[in-house]
Amino acid sequence: MEVKVFDQTGKATSKKVTLSDAIFGIEPNDHAIYLDVKQHLANRRQGTHKAKERAEISGSTRKIKKQKGTGGARAGSIKSGTRVGGGRIFGPRPRDYHFKLNIKTKRLARASAFAYKAKSESILVLEDPKFDSIKTQDFINLLSKLELSNDKVLLILGSQNDSVYLSSRNLKRVKVVTADSVNTYDVLNAKKIVLAESSIEVIEKILN
């Protein structure tokens, strides 16, 4: 699959790059995508949720009223979960949501996500961006020239570039990652994928 390479002024250059069919041209595997996204979202959870149960509530354990003869339901202490101010019945407890996933499944999921974006023509290749200084306006101008100002954009760099990353950090609809850290969720969550020219080789090396 051949695609044009754009420069920072938003114009197509004379260069073209070939995206590997083994990654960008495969038949997407929806189940692999589901598992990888599920793991990503689960691993992001803190798991620090906690509610007090009746053993942890401060209060008397005295029996509120006699067992029989009142005409109402029997009642124990004020800490009962059926009473206002009582403990939570089977409340959430701190837990770890992390689970492991086979590395081959994760690679298949990423390749499938890229394949979906390639099919929908949502991938754009850009010459490696270079900013002289850290300025958000420079990044906004880049998006404007590429006609991506109103889209949710994922920019994938070949290697760490602090001037580009820091210039994009204040923009809500933009995420900048390196090719060795990109995940399936980020690819699917973006409307447009912008690949820095040097990132293609890294992605193909990892996913092949």
* Structural domain boundaries enclosing 160: 2-45+99-207
This prediction has a pTM of 0.83
- Could you give the 3-state DSSP secondary structure of residue 156? strand
Q: What is the pLDDT along the chain (208 residues), one digit of tens a residue?
A: 888 899 888 888 888 899 999 999 999 999 999 999 999 999 999 999 999 999 999 999 999 999 999 999 999 999 999 999 999 999 999 999 999 999 999 999 999 999 999 999 999 999 999 898 999 999 999 999 999 999 999 999 999 999 999 999 999 999 999 999 999 999 999 999 999 999 999 999 999 8
- For residue 6, the 8-state DSSP code is E
Tell me if 74 sits within 8 A of 110, measured CB to CB.
Answer: no
Tell me, yes or no, whether 21 and 124 share the same domain: yes
* Cβ(193)–Cβ(179) below 8 Å: no
**Amino acid at the residue 118:** A
Question: How far, in Å, CA of 203 to CA of 197, rounded?
Answer: 11
Structurally, the chain folds into a number of domains equal to 2
Write the DSSP symbol of residue 142: H
User: Could you tell me the CATH number of the domain that includes residue 185?
Assistant: 3.40.1370.10
64 lies in the same domain as 127:
no
